[in-house]
Amino acid sequence: MSSNNTSDENDVRAATALFQAEFPYERDQEAQVTRREFCNFLGLTSAALFVGAAGFAGKAALDARESEALAPAAIQGAEALAPNTSLNFNYPTERDSAILIRTADGAYHAYGQKCTHLSCPVYYSRNSQRLECPCHEGAFNVATGEVLFGPPPRPLDRIEVEMRDGQVWATGRNPSTREEEGRG
């Protein structure tokens, strides 16, 4: 170790010389973590991991019990959507992004935009005509929302759409579950 002290450090040492004589300790020792402190840190980490797991599970369980009736909403600009293109919108709330796809045959399909793997936003790939997740290369069938390949464990949440007076309306949301499919 070099003894290349800066002037500031020398000043501090000079100022604290009296205390150094009575309570001698080195600065290196101050930064040292004792085994007991490290053990306590691991204990806190364990508590945090437990609270995290419980919180996540609790939130998921609460979300599963919510069965609110969703109000229908018109999807602005959907009627002008060209075949084989997609449009992003928000449904059922402003915080829930969704994607509307008009397939080449003119049919409309809408899904929640969160990938069922780790919630990355999916996008419509016009070349392959499927919904793809860029994060972990998952893909979904555009007509059914089923998983084509990749890590997603369940289909996308389907949003019901219907035509009303020449406008496309989102009328409800069907969250898919793994149990429904009998997978896993």
Q: With respect to other proteins, which residue has the nearer C-beta, 16 or 45?
A: 45
Give least dist CB 170 to other proteins, A.
21
Rounded Cα gap, residues 62 and 174, in angstroms? 17
Give least dist CB 84 to other proteins, A.
30
Tokens standing for residue 29: 């020792």
Contact 86, 147 (CB under 8 A): no
Q: With respect to other proteins, which residue has the nearer C-beta, 119 or 167?
A: 119
Give least dist CB 56 to other proteins, A.
5
Contact 127, 109 (CB under 8 A): no
Give least dist CB 35 to other proteins, A.
5
Q: With respect to other proteins, which residue has the nearer C-beta, 58 or 83?
A: 58
Contact 126, 87 (CB under 8 A): no
Sign of the Cα torsion 129, 152, 51, 58 reads: positive
Q: With respect to other proteins, which residue has the nearer C-beta, 5 or 177?
A: 177
Q: With respect to other proteins, which residue has the nearer C-beta, 48 or 163?
A: 48
Tokens 């992004």 belong to 97
Helix (H, G, I), strand (E, B) or coil at 67: coil
Give least dist CB 34 to other proteins, A.
10
Q: Which residues in the chain belong to E strands, given as ranges?
A: 73-74, 85-90, 97-102, 108-112, 123-125, 130-133, 138-140, 147-149, 158-164, 167-174
Give least dist CB 179 to other proteins, A.
7
Chain centre to alpha carbon of residue 114: 8
Q: With respect to other proteins, which residue has the nearer C-beta, 19 or 41?
A: 41
The binding site for other proteins (CB under 8 A) comprises 35, 38-40, 42-43, 45-47, 49-50, 52-54, 56-57, 59-61, 64, 116-119, 153-154, 175-179, 184
